[in-house]
Structure 1
Amino acid sequence: MEQIFYWTDQAGVAVFAIAGTLLAFRKKMDGFGVIVLASATAIGGGTIRDLILGLPVFWTHDEVYLYTILTAALLTIVWLRFKAYIPMTTLQIADAFGLAFFAAMGAEKTLAAGFSPFIAVIMGTISACFGGMLRDVLARDIPMVLKGELYATTCLVGATVYVLLVPFQPLIALAAGMSATLVMRLGAIKYQWSLTVFRDHQDHY
């Protein structure tokens, strides 16, 4: 079971590293910029989670995470050499898969550290969202989490599904939590789903 969780976590790091590399390509950054964006996306959220929880930062004790980032970034660079243009949708889809992995895995790591289910849901959301926020800020883009369509909400739902199901069957909980986040996020990308808080209005001067 631990091996399944571990390699799922590595897969999430790889997918987010790809998303960071895709944005670096769109911004025409150099090699250093690629590594910075790939790393910020892949391990930024998990680093913030571990710091908040007072846990050892995961990648400082397991260098495989860093090798995963470098490998994913290099393979993406090779692929991109044959592409003249990458649609924004490609970046969004890669990002959606990263959210799906980390919303559930962030919740799993928080529960394993002995924290409550409520804190696990919050930390799952932070693990999933904050790496992308760092990436977008560094690239001088409006963070996806601040745009109209559903983003952080999908992570809250996925982490909640995982926390509710994990007492019964951890693997089913992992699959269900990831699927909930992924389906909601892809639906939000395609159909512009959003949670409207304020009504449309016109400014009056």
Structure 2
Amino acid sequence: MDKLIELISGGTVLAAIIGGVILLIQQRQITKLQLELQKGEARQKLLELRRPLYRELLEPWTVGLTAAMNSEDPTRAITDQVDSPEYLATLFEFAATASDDLVRSYNEMAMAGWVASKVPQAVDPKKIPEKLGQFLLLVRKDLGLPDTELGHEDMLRVRLPYMGAPDLPDVFRTTPPAEVER
């Protein structure tokens, strides 16, 4: 009888240990799922913040591209907007929320634009549209389409029909026409 009681109490302890381990594993899984859900919600909130921010950030560049398409000076159109306090606030918010690659791409695009505004002959006229297309492509990836097959020229071509251009003008080409897939 004592052996039976020992066996039962030993089994109870073993069952309690196994039950505790199972409970601990389940609790970790629940915690992990809760964290993933919170990350997903945070990612969604970040996307909601980024969309209008990117639109504001691109406005001067859109105005500049429109001016260039209409044979006007794009530098003045961009400079008027970029020099505003509102745009500076947009830049600070952008730097705080955008991906590293996107911030670097914007910096390259802005630097090319700045150099072109100061010393136009120092910059290849294709460089700024190329940088803009690369930036737009990274915006696309940052907003949830990381596996896109589009290239930076495709990102420019999307905007050009709205500006009255039937196709990508040579000045905006970054690769020879024969190499561009349509």
TM-score (norm 1): 0.26
The structure in which a higher percent of residues are helix is: 2
| Larger RCO, structure (CA 8 Å, separation 6 or more) | 1
- TM normalised by structure 2 equals 0.29
